[in-house]
Amino acid sequence: MTDSLAVGVAQFAPTADTEANLQAIEELVATASGRGARVIVFPEYSSYFVDPFDESLAANAQELDGPFVQALARIAAAHEVVVVAGLLERAEDGRRVRNTVVAVGPEGLRAHYRKLHLYDAFGQRESDWIEAGDLGEPRTFEFGGLRFGLMTCYDLRFPEVGRLLVDAGADVFLVPAEWVRGPLKEHHWRTLLHARAIENTVFVAAADHPPPLGIGSSLIVDPQGVELAAVGTATDVAVAHLDVGAVARVRRVNPALQLRRLGVVPRS
């Protein structure tokens, strides 16, 4: 039998009640792990979310070793999984916060990533409240024979982020998101997720907020752009078994990464 690793995407709507968010996360982890998932991806802002943003963000931001991450570690240990979720992290200036993704296993924090590209688009101004992450090494972690790379929501519109992750050895992109509804937004979401998978010959697993604010459509795509599993608009999980050898096989047939003539250079 082919070696595989089951990955889940868990779709729910985080609120301004962190304890309620953790309860929802624990229930969805139990569902996903019951279906075999070993890595489970949750949306952006899983620890705390309000719409519109206000001063409560800073008051409810936490440290990377704070109670939210500690609770995720307990949940991960209870189900022997890795949980990937959006954390509202404290920033240095005390007014803005960081939009951070944490990957947490039973032993604690495995990796974290601070969103590079802030959502100053479609009439929104995320940068009024959020501090962008520093340009640095791509954030990845290994588990179950695969290397997972982290990005967040609006980063999906910047293919350079994917290139940096794949150059760091990522086999799977994990994308927590709060993809706001609007004209053509679901089309953009699906197209970009499939494009990042195809152009980088990687798996992509993305988790969104459901309607009415998000679009839902959390999904998992394989290295040839084939959709393996998806959620519609409900609070639910989708699980796909990722063939550990698929990335190498696809790259033998389609060596696009080897044939590239351009690299990625960070801009200040």
Catalytic residues: 44, 115, 153
User: What residue type is assigned to position 94 of the chain?
Assistant: G
Q: How far is residue 181's CA from residue 121's CA, in Å, rounded to a whole number?
A: 13
For the record, the structure tokens of 169 come out as: 């050895």
Strand 4-11 to 39-41 pairing? parallel
With H, G, I as helix, E, B as strand and everything else as coil, classify residue 118.
coil
Q: DSSP secondary-structure letter at 51? A: S
Q: How many residues are there in the chain?
A: 268
Q: Give the Cβ contact number of residue 63 at 10 Å.
A: 11
The residue to which tokens 């991450």 are assigned: 69
Q: How far is residue 246's CA from residue 253's CA, in Å, rounded to a whole number?
A: 11
- Give the residue from 160, 174, 161, 208 showing the smallest Cα distance to 188: 208
φ/ψ of 169, rounded to 5, equals: 100, 10
> Which residues, including other chains, have CB under 8 Å from residue 235's CB and lie 6 or more apart?
11, 12, 13, 24, 28, 210
- Edge to edge, what strands does the sheet with 227-230 contain? 140-143, 146-150, 172-176, 203-207, 219-221, 227-230
